[in-house]
């Protein structure tokens, strides 16, 4: 029995690996760093400012239209008193906001491209995408204020605050609390920020067309709210003819 044990131990000793220096170096690296991580960059921002550009450009569009709604009525009383169809009055009330927002989007594009040297990968597509975002934002803001009146301005401000934390402009929206995930998926700013990143940094553009279609959907939603507001306010009451407080 002892001889058999000795023979088997001798056989086992002969099977023990005896690595050379290169194998020892490779094994030591595996033991020191057992998990290998490879970084694959789909797109890269040239600077910290370029990394935040999609968020601040989108934010500037929303705030610009929000400030405009403070100075302009979404629908004029003269238009409401006319015999035009409700949808025509709604579109007529939206067009001034659309015109100003288009100018704003164009100026923003020129400033960041020429003055600040953003150098987007797709400058023309970026400008067209900003026009689509301006169209959607102006329709939503004009529609909300037209439908709700002065309280609608507070609603627009609340929507802005919600989108500041849920759009993923400064940190991944997936790291936010679960209720804000719903906000990200429902409100438009998050989609615009993501689309701007793809157009500025040169990432995959396959999501741009669905995003633009979504912005058209937001535009139609704003137009529907504005049309509903026209139908609501076309019927004048005694309070409309003689309001307690004229603003």
Residue 239 lies in a domain: no
Give the DSSP H or E segment for 10.
helix 2-15
Residue 14 lies in a domain: no
**DSSP-assigned letters across all residues of 110-148:** HIIIIIS----SSHHHHHHHHHHHHHHHHHHHHHHHHHH
Domain count, the chain: 1
pLDDT tens, the chain, 247 aa long: 677 776 677 676 666 666 677 776 777 777 766 666 666 655 666 665 677 888 889 999 999 999 999 988 888 878 877 778 888 888 888 999 999 999 999 999 999 888 888 888 888 999 999 999 999 999 999 999 999 988 999 999 999 998 888 888 777 777 887 888 888 888 898 899 988 888 888 878 888 999 999 999 999 999 999 999 888 877 766 666 666 665 5
Q: Directed axis angle between helix 86-110 and helix 48-71, to 10°?
A: 140
Residue 2 lies in a domain: no
Distance CA 12, CA 200 (A): 63
Residue 10 lies in a domain: no
Domain hosting 108: range is 48-234
Residue 40 lies in a domain: no
Residue 111 lies in a domain: yes
Residue 12 lies in a domain: no
């Amino acid at each position: 029995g002892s001889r058999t044990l000795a023979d088997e131990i001798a056989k086992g000793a002969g099977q023990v690996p005896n690595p050379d220096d290169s194998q020892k170096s490779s094994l030591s690296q595996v033991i020191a760093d057992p998990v290998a991580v490879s970084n694959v960059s789909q797109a890269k921002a040239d600077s910290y400012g370029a990394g935040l550009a999609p968020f601040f450009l989108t934010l500037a569009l929303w705030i610009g239209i929000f400030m405009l709604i403070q100075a302009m009525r979404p629908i004029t009383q003269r238009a409401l008193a006319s015999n035009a169809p409700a949808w025509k009055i709604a579109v007529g009330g939206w067009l001034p906001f659309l015109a100003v927002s288009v100018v704003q989007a164009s100026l923003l594009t020129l400033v960041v491209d020429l003055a600040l040297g953003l150098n987007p990968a797709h400058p023309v597509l970026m400008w067209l995408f900003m026009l689509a975002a301006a169209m959607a934002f102006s329709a939503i803001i004009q529609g909300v204020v037209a439908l709700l009146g002065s309280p609608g301005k507070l609603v627009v401000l609340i929507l802005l605050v919600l989108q500041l934390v849920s759009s993923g402009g400064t940190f991944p929206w997936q790291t936010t609390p679960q209720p804000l995930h719903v906000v990200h998926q429902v409100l438009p700013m998050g989609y615009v920020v993501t689309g701007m990143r793809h157009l500025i940094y040169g990432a995959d553009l396959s999501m741009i067309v669905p995003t633009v279609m979504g912005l058209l959907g937001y535009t139609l939603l704003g137009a529907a709210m504005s049309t509903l507001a026209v139908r609501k306010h076309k019927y004048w009451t005694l309070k409309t003819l003689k309001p307690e407080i004229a603003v």
